[in-house]
Amino acid sequence: MNLKGVVISGETTEIAAKAFVGCKNLEVVILPESVTQISEDAFERCPEVTIFAPGGFYAEQFAKEQGFAFVDVNELKRKSK
């Protein structure tokens, strides 16, 4: 699959098992603070994923536990001002 990036809507609370499995080109995943559960294998075989989300929420914890790069979108907003 050639998917390079995905933006998850602000009402989403869960990323299901194998949701993006095998999306080898996936680089950018933008998650809202509403996400409180991500399956361990949601990004299986997606070696280049960077998760963009507000710091201090579940997405940051998930990224650190699973070894994905993480970018705090709130920090990006502060730096751009």
pLDDT in tens, 40-75: 999 999 999 999 999 999 999 999 999 999 999 998
- Please tell me the distance from the alpha carbon of residue 42 to that of residue 18, in angstroms, as a whole number: 4
Give pTM, 2 decimals.
0.92
